[in-house]
């Protein structure tokens, strides 16, 4: 009777904590993650094992952590979004049970879950993620696996900055257990390279399920950009503009942003990874906004540069048009077969010629002074996604096309150009003979931006008490 009561209390407590209503219904399916694991196993060499760890938790302030962000590779292969987990994949079936995959997860714990949130646990990993062989992290130590018997082990870089922690089920102890079992003193280059090569070759090509996510994250980011274009005025602060993006992202169900937003006015727009976003007024300057949402793990990466007062000056317009032209020329070669580097070269070539024409540089080699970054990167679960940056473009890759020109004050050119920073960034789906601009919903032409700026935004009517 007592046992029955304890069991009842246990089940009651967990069902209370575990029940959660009104969750999104469009997460990637367990079949997607299962299929990705199969694709990974197909690329593993004979007699090999792969080991994938969750990302560490990181401190935000004393005893408060940042909201946890899953390791994109772990998420891609499992759908598991919690810390302190390890996934094992085997090329060949193992043991009497003939398993090819094992997942170690955080143990359910009513007290911890009341403090830090729900845990999927063993049963959840089986029912929701489709794993058959799942254990609690603390059981990894005693799990019988002879990593030394494999010809090849495949794993990612192992973090070395974790706090030593002797409890048996946190990431630190999972990593120690793996290193002990596998006899790893120093990471093996072949293991690291294989992990990168396999995950890159899978993740660089988006599946139909991923394309649904990518279209959504990019589309809603465009809506956010458009809303700021309408709402903006010289009195708005950089952080308020950032806040409008954040609000719109969340309105459409995004978890947040795929990277720290860059919202920089005038001189701040000339700092490539500006992140303070703390100018209290945009004034009559250009505002460069590089902001993209993260929707169910997938990041958009969209940049628009707009005049706060709704009208570009002649100089701003000239620089803007040159960046626009560079984008247009790059779009023309966005199709299967184009070497990745051609995209970067094309953008640089157009910008160099344009800067010479405007009298801002006299030698093409000086283009890097005002355009110091490359034009494109893969986009997906990571904003700078995995993929082969040396190879040709392939169907269903998604890349950014993001030329820019940044002319800080005191640059060696006429001062009429100073403090103009322009980047235009779009997210491009590569097709067999062409491309699709996924971020088409946000205007790029300066005429269209000026026209949109004349419209009113919902945010213009928001009134807050004065303090």
Can residue 290 be called a binding residue for Mn ion (CB under 5 A)?
Answer: yes
- Terminal Cα distance for the chain, rounded: 62
Can residue 426 be called a binding residue for ligand GLY (CB under 6 A)?
Answer: no
CA neighbours closer than 13 Å in the CB half-sphere of residue 403 = 28
Burial code (b: 16+ CB inside 10 Å, e: under 16) for 428-443 equals bbbeeeebebbbeebb
Tell me the two tokens of residue 209.
Answer: 């399920």
Q: How many residues bind ligand GLY (CB under 6 A)?
A: 7
In 3D space, the residue among 81, 86, 85 whose CA is nearest the CA of residue 68 turns out to be: 81
Q: According to CB under 5 A, which residues from 370 to 409 bind Mn ion?
A: 400, 402
Residue that has been written with the tokens 């997210």 in this structure: 427
Query: Is 425 a known active-site residue?
Result: yes
User: What residue is closest to ligand GLY based on CB?
Assistant: 290
Can residue 301 be called a binding residue for Mn ion (CB under 5 A)?
Answer: yes
Q: Which of 55, 68, 135, 259 binds ligand GLY (CB under 6 A)?
A: 259
Contact 82, 58 (CB under 8 A): no
CA neighbours closer than 13 Å in the CB half-sphere of residue 115 = 7
Query: Is 225 a known active-site residue?
Result: no
Q: Give the span between the Cα atoms of 196 and 365, in whole angstroms.
A: 33
Angle at 20 between CA 19 and CA 23, to 5 degrees: 150
Q: What are the residues facing 345 on neighbouring strands?
A: none
Can residue 290 be called a binding residue for ligand GLY (CB under 6 A)?
Answer: yes
Cβ at position 146, least distance to ligand GLY in Å: 43
**Which lies closer to Mn ion via its Cβ, residue 439 or residue 457?**
439
Query: Of 18, 118, 250, 373, which one is the catalytic site residue?
Result: 373
Site string for ligand GLY, 292-331 (x = CB under 6 A): ---------x------------------------------
Query: Is 373 a known active-site residue?
Result: yes
Cβ at position 238, least distance to Mn ion in Å: 16
Q: Which of 198, 383, 407, 428 binds ligand GLY (CB under 6 A)?
A: 383
Site string for Mn ion, 404-433 (x = CB under 5 A): ---------------------x--------
Cα-Cα-Cα-Cα dihedral sign, residues 387, 393, 396, 402: positive
Query: Of 82, 425, 426, 427, which one is the catalytic site residue?
Result: 425
Q: Give the span between the Cα atoms of 342 and 119, in whole angstroms.
A: 46
Site of interaction with ligand GLY (CB under 6 A) = 259, 290, 301, 377, 383, 402, 425
Site of interaction with Mn ion (CB under 5 A) = 290, 301, 400, 402, 425
By annotation, the residues acting in catalysis are 63, 273, 290, 301, 373, 377, 384, 402, 406, 423, 425
């Amino acid at each position: 009777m007592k046992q029955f009561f304890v069991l009842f209390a246990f089940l009651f407590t967990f069902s209370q904590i575990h029940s959660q209503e009104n969750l999104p219904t469009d997460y990637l399916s367990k079949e997607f993650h299962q299929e990705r694991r199969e694709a990974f196993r197909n690329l593993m060499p004979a007699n090999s094992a792969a080991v994938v760890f969750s990302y560490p938790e990181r401190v935000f302030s004393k005893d408060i952590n940042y909201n946890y962000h899953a390791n994109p590779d772990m998420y891609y292969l499992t759908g598991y979004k919690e810390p302190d987990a390890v996934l094992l994949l085997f090329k060949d079936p193992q043991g009497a049970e003939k398993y090819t995959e094992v997942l170690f997860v955080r143990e359910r714990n009513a007290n911890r879950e009341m403090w830090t949130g729900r845990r999927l646990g063993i049963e959840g990993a089986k029912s929701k993620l489709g794993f058959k062989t799942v254990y609690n992290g603390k059981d990894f130590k005693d799990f019988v696996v002879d990593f030394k018997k494999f010809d090849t082990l495949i794993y990612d870089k192992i973090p070395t900055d974790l706090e030593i922690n002797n409890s048996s089920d946190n990431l630190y102890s999972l990593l120690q257990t793996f290193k002990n079992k596998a006899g790893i003193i120093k990471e093996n280059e072949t293991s690291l390279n294989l992990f990168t090569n396999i995950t890159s070759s899978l993740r660089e090509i988006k599946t139909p399920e991923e394309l649904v996510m990518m279209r959504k994250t990019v589309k809603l980011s465009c809506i956010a950009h458009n809303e700021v274009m309408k709402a903006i005025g010289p009195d708005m602060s950089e952080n308020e503009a950032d806040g409008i993006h954040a609000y719109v992202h969340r309105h459409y169900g995004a978890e947040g942003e795929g990277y720290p937003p860059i919202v920089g006015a005038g001189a701040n727009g000339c700092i490539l990874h500006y992140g303070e976003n703390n100018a209290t007024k945009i004034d009559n300057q250009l505002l460069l906004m590089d902001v993209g949402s993260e929707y169910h793990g997938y990041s958009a990466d969209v940049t628009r540069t707009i005049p706060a007062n709704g009208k570009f000056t002649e100089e701003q317009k000239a620089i803007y048009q040159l960046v626009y032209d560079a984008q247009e020329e790059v779009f023309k070669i966005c199709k299967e077969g184009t070497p990745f580097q051609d995209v970067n070269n094309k953008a640089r070539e157009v910008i160099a010629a344009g800067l010479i024409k405007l009298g801002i540089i006299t030698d093409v080699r000086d283009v890097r002074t005002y355009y110091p970054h490359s034009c494109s990167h893969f986009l997906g679960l990571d904003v700078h996604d995995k993929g082969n940056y040396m190879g040709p473009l392939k169907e269903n890759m998604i890349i950014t096309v993001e030329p820019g020109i940044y002319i800080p004050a005191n640059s060696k050119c006429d001062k009429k150009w100073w403090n103009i920073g322009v980047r235009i960034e779009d997210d491009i789906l590569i097709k067999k003979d062409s491309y699709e601009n996924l971020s088409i919903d946000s205007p790029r032409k300066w005429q269209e931006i000026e026209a949109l700026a004349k419209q009113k935004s919902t945010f213009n009517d928001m009134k807050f008490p004065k303090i």
